[in-house]
Amino acid sequence: MGDVFTPFNFMLLLIGTIGGLILGATPGLSPTMAVALLIPFTFRLEAAQGLILLGAAYTSTVAGGAVSAILLKIPGAPANIATTLDGHTMAQKGQGAKALQLSFLASAVGGVFGVLLLIFLTPVLAKWALAFGPSHLFWLAILGVTVIGSLDSSSLVKGLLSGCIGLWLATIGFDDIMGAQRFIFHPAVGGGINVIPALIGLFAIPQVITMFAKGRSSSGAEVIVVQKSPIKAAIQEVFSRKRALAIGTAVGSVIGLIPGVGGQIAGLVAYDQSKKFSPESEKFGTGHSEGVIAAEAANNAMVGPSLVPLLTLSIPGSPTAAVLLGGLLIHGIFPGSDLFDNHPDVAWTFINSMLIGQILMCIFGLYVAGLAASVARVPHSVMAAVVLGLAVFGSYSVQNSMGDVYVMASLGVGMYFLERFGFSAAPLVLGLILGPIAEANFIQGSMIANATSSVGSYFFTGPLNLTLIIIVVASIAYSAWMEVRNRRYTSKEEIMQ
C-alpha cells in the first residue's frame, strides 16, 4: 500500500482521478477512449506508475459520466444510461446536488466492494492459472475473443467476424518463428500493427466522425444549475437505501466478472432488479433516489471484477480492460502468473491504487462536479478537433513513426463505417491483442503434440481443454439463442401492432 502514497505516485493518482472525472463527464468521451488516449502519456513512466494513472482514469471516468447524465440528461458513458432515468428527474426537481452526492457515494461503495473482490479473487485465480499449458492458453485466448464477440455485439455473426478481423490484423508483419512476411500490403505495416495506435484509432476516430455527423448543430443541452445540499443527508440517504445499494453492488460485481459484459448492462440490470424488489417501485423514473444509487453502485462495482480475468488469465472483462491490457504489454508485462510472480510490486501497487482511487473519486467528485458539468458543455466542434489532434500526436509518439499514424487513421475510419453496419470494435481489439498469444501457444502446443501425441488429442482432450471448449461453444450458443428469441419477440410485437 505504501507505494501508492509516494509523492509522485499519489500525484498521478490525483491527476488520473480528477482528469478522469472531467473526461467522464464529457459526452462522447467514453472511458475506453479516455484510457486509450492516455496510454501514450505513460510511456515515460514506470509500469506501476503508468497503471496507477490508467486505473484512476478508468475508475473515475465511469463515475464522472454521472455528472452529465444527471445535469444534462446525456450519459457521459454507456454505463451511465440507467443513472439518467432518475438522476435527471431529481435535478429537474431542484435536487441536482443531492443526486450527484448520491451517485458519487454509491459509486464509492460499489467501487470499493468491487476492488476488494479483485484483491481476494486475483491471487487465487493467478495460482490456478499456473496449471495452464499452451493448449489451455490457446483456448483462453480464443475464449476471450468469442465471449466478447458474442456477448458485446448486437449481432453474433458480426461480433465473431469482428473478432476474426482482429485476429487477422494481429498476424500482419513478420512471422516470429519462420521470419516469413505475412500480409504486408503497405510499408506502414511492415513491422506489424502496433497495438496502441490501433487502440487509439479504433476507439477515438469513430467518435470524431460521429461528432462530424452532427454537423453544425449545437448540442442543445441545458445544464441544470445545482443548489448546495448537505452531504450528511446524502450519506444517511445512501445507507438507508440498503436494498438498492446491495443490489447495485452485487449485480455490478457479478457482471464485471463475466468477460465482455460491460457497465451499461450492469447499470440497467441493477436498476431493473432494484425496481422489482422495491416496495416503492412506482416511484422509479420520477426522480427516486434508489434508481440513482442502484445504477451508480453497479457501474462502479463492475470496474474491479472486470480486471480479475484480465490480471489472472489475460482475458479482459470489458473493452476498457482490453485497453489496460495494451498498457501492460507495452511495459513488457504479461498478465497471469508472470505478473504476480515477477512483478508483484507492479500488480499490488496498481490494485491498491484502485482502492484508494475509489475514495478519492468520491471526495473529488463532489467538488469537481460543477467544473465537470461546464466541460460537458464544450461544443462537439471543439471536442472533435481536440480528440483528432490527441489521436495523431498520441499514436505518433509510440515509436516516432508516421506509419503508426496512418494505421491509426485507416483503422479508425474503417471502424466507423463498420460500426454503422453492426460490427463492433471490442471483439476486434480483443482479437488484435490476444491474436499473438493464441498463435504463439498454438505453435508451441503443436510442437509438443507432434513430439508426444497428436495435435487433435493435445488440443481437444483433458478436463481443462474440454471445459474451455464448452464455455466457448456455450457463449456462442447462448448468444445465438438470445438473438433468435429477440427476433421472435420483435416479430410478435410487429404482428400485434
Partner 1 sequence: MTDLPRNQHIVASGLVAAVGAWVTYISYTQEPAAAFLFPRMISTVFVVLALWTFGKALLGKSQVGNGLSAQAMKNILPGLIVALIYIFWAAKGLGFYTASTITFFILLSLYDPAPHSEGRTWIKRIIITAGFLAVMYGLFAALLNVYTPREIFF
Residues in touch with partner 1 (CB under 8 A): 40-41, 43-44, 154-155, 157-158, 160-161, 164-165, 167-168, 171, 175, 177-178, 180, 182-183, 208-209, 211-218, 379-382, 384-386, 388-389, 392-393, 396-397, 400, 402, 405-406, 409, 413, 417-423, 438-439, 442-443, 446, 487
3-state secondary structure of 214: coil
Residue closer to partner 1 (CB basis): 119 or 209:
209
Minimum CB separation from partner 1 for residue 490, in Å?
Answer: 9
Residue closer to partner 1 (CB basis): 108 or 200:
200
Q: How many residues does the chain have?
A: 497
To 10 degrees, the CA torsion angle through 283, 287, 289, 293?
110
Minimum CB separation from partner 1 for residue 227, in Å?
Answer: 30
Alpha-carbon distance of 459 to 474, in angstroms, equals 18
Alpha-carbon distance of 193 to 38, in angstroms, equals 19
Q: Residue 173 is inside which H or E element, if any?
A: strand 173-174
Q: Burial level of 221, CB count in 10 A (0-12/13-18/19+)?
A: middle
Residue closer to partner 1 (CB basis): 400 or 452:
400
Which residues have C-beta within 8 Å of that of residue 102, sequence separation ≥ 6?
A: 234, 237, 238, 289, 292, 293, 296
Minimum CB separation from partner 1 for residue 388, in Å?
Answer: 6
Minimum CB separation from partner 1 for residue 73, in Å?
Answer: 19
Minimum CB separation from partner 1 for residue 200, in Å?
Answer: 12
Residue closer to partner 1 (CB basis): 143 or 251:
143
Minimum CB separation from partner 1 for residue 186, in Å?
Answer: 12
For residue 324, what is its C-alpha cell? 489496460
Residue closer to partner 1 (CB basis): 156 or 251:
156
Residue closer to partner 1 (CB basis): 154 or 457:
154
Residue closer to partner 1 (CB basis): 87 or 262:
262
Minimum CB separation from partner 1 for residue 18, in Å?
Answer: 16
* Residue type at position 211: M
Q: Burial level of 468, CB count in 10 A (0-12/13-18/19+)?
A: buried
Minimum CB separation from partner 1 for residue 409, in Å?
Answer: 5
Residue closer to partner 1 (CB basis): 181 or 281:
181
Q: Burial level of 231, CB count in 10 A (0-12/13-18/19+)?
A: middle
3-state secondary structure of 278: coil
Residue closer to partner 1 (CB basis): 92 or 444:
444
Q: Is the Cα torsion angle 315, 321, 326, 328 positive or negative in sign?
A: negative
- Concatenated DSSP letters for 49-101? HHHHHHHHHHHHHHHHHHHHHHHTS--SSGGGHHHHHHHHHHIIIIIHHHHHH
Residue closer to partner 1 (CB basis): 240 or 450:
450
Minimum CB separation from partner 1 for residue 163, in Å?
Answer: 9
Minimum CB separation from partner 1 for residue 158, in Å?
Answer: 6
Measured CA distances, 414 to 33, 165, 246, 407, 450 (Å): 17, 12, 42, 10, 40
- Give 212's strand partners: none
To 10 degrees, the CA torsion angle through 28, 61, 386, 331?
-120
